[in-house]
Chain A
Amino acid sequence: MNVWKNLSFDRAQATWLAATIALAVFLASGLTDAATWEKGWNDPNGGPTAFTGKCENKHFGSWSFPGAAPWGCDARNYGESYRAEVLWAPFTVSMEQIHPQQPIKSADPVVIQNREEHLRAYMTQTYLLIRQLGTHYYKSRRPTAGDDEIEAWVQAFLTVAAHETNFSHFRKLKEDSPLMIVMGDQNKSIGMVQIFLQAHGIKRTDHYFDLARNLLYGMDHYYLGWEIAERKGESCYPVKNFVDQARGAYSIYNGGIKAACRWKTASKLWHEANPGCKFGSKTDFQPECGGLSREKFYLHDLNYERKLKTRSWMFYVDAKPDTELSADVDCLMRGNDLCVISPQQKAQVLTGTILTYHNPEESNRNIYCVVGENEGETLFCTYGDHDVACLGKFGPIRQFQKVYRLTDPDRDFHRITYADRHALCLGAVEGLVPVGGLIRTLKSIAIRPEPARGGRVIGSTGTKVFQVVDFYIEPGLAGDRFYKVAVPTKLGIEYGYFYAGSSRTTNTPKESHWDRWAKSVTSEQAAKLGSYSPQLPQKGEVLQLITEASQPVWLNTSGPTKHNRKVVDLQPGSVFEVLDFHVMGESFENRVNLYIRLKNGSVGYLYVGQVSPQYTLDRYVKRVIEEGASQ
């Protein structure tokens, strides 16, 4: 107190000063911190990549019941929630049924019955999903694994789901309220196995949003730890049994590779740091038992071990041998979330929704269709879901959130299936620039490896001309479009997508949204605007075939079919003139056929590779620069 008296200003002034300085520093550091998280790592152009999610309509939930762990946040910020809402309905917890505000031993028998029935159905399906996904996953990585090893892996991963979120993923507060997803670690981790959003592999929502993807990506990471635990190298490895392997893998999963041996010493160190406390008793949750100490993270390892032993989730699992999983796990492993819908579900409203079915004899991809607007009895279809938005030209798609599986569409409909995505999409979306077309960006737009509006950036467009090598229309009412173009980088030419607006229009001034991002230009206009990097051969250009084998030149673009005729076999080294090009392809492929004129004057179509998803043209042909050769 004497010290205060000796100062030249009084205590109130000093306190105000201290508080003001501290507050300013605190706020400033908070801003700095936020700015750091917003910036992407390894991003040569410094583009924004959000690693910390936002949590809208934050809902606490409850740790007492499976499927309801804190925090629930609006799912629409993280993925296609409208789609997940339908497809993942059996794996969505209804908070109305759980009554989290009521105590576990509620006096109301209706509450108890509702809760138990709902949680039993949810947990049984979730448990079976993790079991079957885990088994498939482990067999794919270790085909020779025995049953006991697979069972150990499954139990270890079930415990990860139990410990991270108590089996929580999607939830709804009410029947008609928006879908929510579980977030943790101050919104840095997402989903049932808490995928850390800063992890390097997290670039697209399909690495973490739907439940199967979240679990599979979590398995990828848990498996890394599982493998490390078997190797020599760390003091605590190799492990002696599967329980230790599960614990070791979890320490790495939770704390990173440098925490690999945490499981071994967790109990000793935690008890040393908290004298008088015993793990597993009520005291370990109290502040005086390390609740606030730096050693509290050992509780992750101790609790994981306890849950692995007790398997308390089985209380809610209906483990009768005839209980079946509603989802097709083989199909889910192939990355198709539509497999979650059971074949028993019948389509109720077909018109204006997307329909799908699979016919292995026709295509190795699912086929997607809409009912034609005018005909009513005609289905218009495409192979794969890549261009499903383009089906809108045959009948407006009122909602993308309902996708119905058809079992035998040819019985009820006349079906027209487009094998060529370019024929399907051109004209379906206003202002869409075809592959090979030239486009001028009107502002600097981030170029990303995938057609998305977030994630890693590999370049920026500036206001330049590009030749389009792929287009993508995002499924949804907005008609958002992306174009893939060549980007020069230090590692050579890379290809990436930039966003180019939606199909929305504004009234003042009257213009389309896409018109403000990028505009189609002719080759003459492009020449005036400056140079661009051509990715497809140009009309009039002279090329040389450089493949190892001779290549057939056909009368039309259909390739070797009975309706086509071979004009000539073109020998490697042959030179020809390009008269035109045609881009064709099913689903995601953009294959290029050149209409060419040979030296002897004969004309025909020559296949010269694809421009997307892989660029192979440069392995088929090269430009002829010599003046003599071009004649």
Chain B
Amino acid sequence: MKNWLTSILFMVGFLTLFVGGQGSLQLLESWRLSSSRERSHSEISTSPHQAARLGQPKGSVVGGSTPPIKTSPAARAALVTVRERVDELTHCLESRDCFQFFQQDDGKLGYHYAVSNEVVKVAAEIEPLVESGEVAVDQELILLVHQLLQFPEDHVRDVALRLVPYLPKSPQTLQVALGALRDSASAPLYSLGLKVMKNYADNPSDTRVFSEFLADRLLHGGPNISEEVAKNLFPLLNASNIQLFQGVLTKMPERSPASSYLESGIKEYEIITAGY
């Protein structure tokens, strides 16, 4: 009797350990990640003082002040950690072999999103570093942002797009940012992307590039994206692209939400420039 009971209890213990194994490893992984995050945060928190002590200018392109000439060693280490972790996670995505991201049906999108979620957490550590002025906007940072913009998941692209205003304006960055939108069906990402493009509206060549892209999205981007672009287009309208979008309006399906928003934006622009 005692042996029976002992065997049953042993089996229960073994099974619970076995079934719980995946969750336990996830828990351990989450502890590991949170401790590494805490470490990064502590490094970040000391950096502004260092920057101030070294007399480096703080702020960023967004903030309006000059970016630092050189990245502080602590911030450099944090940035290296971020890049290495992004590379590791990208490898996880490709190999589908990282146990901690397995979902119950691991052939489907769950794994893809679990890895991407981790990339988001890691990439989110960059903005405070750039914003506080601890990281210089150099080629290395630009390449990292480009890498994140090309990451095949919209939440990651969202984090990356928020970094674009800190970078110096360049046709390459604009192309990569537009590429991130082109490969996406996410309305919030387009809404963010259009805000980012406003920085490029003062250059005629850049304006032509993004206007042609947006005109194409309005006409052939599908109903969701077309509506989102139309809703957020007004701040990007100017003398060099208004004719393009007036032409687009005539080709759009009548009475659609997208054409209503576009018409409303164009009308506002016309009143401002030609009178009521």
Residues in A lying within 8 Å of B, measured CB to CB: 11-12, 15-16, 18-19, 22-23, 25-26, 28-30, 32-33, 36, 41-42, 137, 140-143, 185-186, 188, 196, 198-201, 203, 207, 216-217, 219-221, 223-224, 228, 254-259, 294, 296-300, 330, 333-335, 360, 364-365, 449, 456, 490-492, 547-552, 559-560, 569, 589, 607, 609-610, 613-614, 616, 619-620
Contact = CB atoms under 8 A, between A and B. Distances in A.
Contacts of A199: 154, 186
Contacts of A551: 271, 275-276
Contact of A364 (B2, B112, B255): B255
B220 A140 contact: yes
A201 B186 contact: yes
Interface in B185-244: 185-189, 191-192, 195-196, 219-225, 227, 231-232, 234
Given A201-B188, A335-B223, A256 B112 contact: yes
A141 B220 contact: yes
Given A18-B14, A217-B185, A335-B227, A616 B272 contact: yes
Given A33-B26, A196-B109, A217-B185, A613 B231 contact: yes
Given A223-B222, A364-B254, A491 B165 contact: yes
Contacts of A300: 107-108
B107 A298 contact: yes
B10 A15 contact: yes
A500 B87 CA distance: 44
Contact of B6 (A12, A200, A223, A614): A12
Nearest to B3: A11
The residue in A188, A203, A456 that gathers the most chain B C-beta atoms within 10 A of its C-beta is: A188
B120 A11 contact: no
Contacts of B232: 614
A385 to B, nearest CB: 11
26 contacts: A12-B5, A15-B13, A18-B10, A18-B13, A19-B13, A23-B16, A42-B120, A140-B219, A185-B108, A200-B189, A201-B189, A201-B224, A223-B222, A255-B109, A256-B93, A259-B112, A300-B108, A334-B255, A335-B227, A449-B188, A491-B62, A547-B273, A560-B276, A609-B271, A613-B261, A613-B264
Interface residues of B, number: 81
A419 B268 CA distance: 19
B185 A201 contact: yes
B98 interface: no
A550 B27 contact: no
Given A25-B23, A490-B162, A548-B273, A334 B256 contact: yes
B30 interface: yes
Given A199-B186, A297-B108, A449-B191, A26 B19 contact: yes
Interface in B243-261: 253-257, 260-261
A69 B227 CA distance: 32
A33 B110 CA distance: 13
Given A219-B222, A256-B111, 7 more contacts: A12-B6, A196-B109, A200-B153, A223-B222, A224-B184, A299-B107, A364-B260
Interface string B93-118: 11010000000111111111100010
A254 B154 CA distance: 16
Nearest to A223: B222
A456 to B, nearest CB: 6
B62 to A, nearest CB: 6
B275 A490 contact: no
B52 interface: no
A221 B222 CA distance: 10
B126 to A, nearest CB: 13
A482 to B, nearest CB: 17
B64 to A, nearest CB: 12
B224 A217 contact: yes
Given A15-B13, A140-B220, A185 B27 contact: no
A255 B108 contact: yes
The residue in B159, B191, B232, B264 that gathers the most chain A C-beta atoms within 10 A of its C-beta is: B264
Nearest to B62: A490
A26 B183 contact: no
B41 interface: no
B223 A216 contact: yes
Contacts of A28: 27
B253 A334 contact: yes
B54 interface: no
B268 A614 contact: yes
A56 B192 CA distance: 35
B142 to A, nearest CB: 19
Given A25-B27, A41-B155, A620-B272, A335 B257 contact: yes
Contacts of B94: 258
A426 B276 CA distance: 27
A141 B222 contact: yes
B224 A11 contact: no
A256 B268 contact: no
B20 interface: yes
B24 interface: yes
B24 A29 contact: yes
B57 interface: no
Contacts of A196: 109, 113
B158 interface: yes
A288 to B, nearest CB: 19
B48 interface: no
B113 A198 contact: yes
Nearest to A143: B220
A140 B187 CA distance: 18
Nearest to A334: B256
A512 B221 CA distance: 45
B80 interface: no
Nearest to B127: A490
A616 B234 contact: yes
Interface string B1-35: 01001100110111011011001101100100000
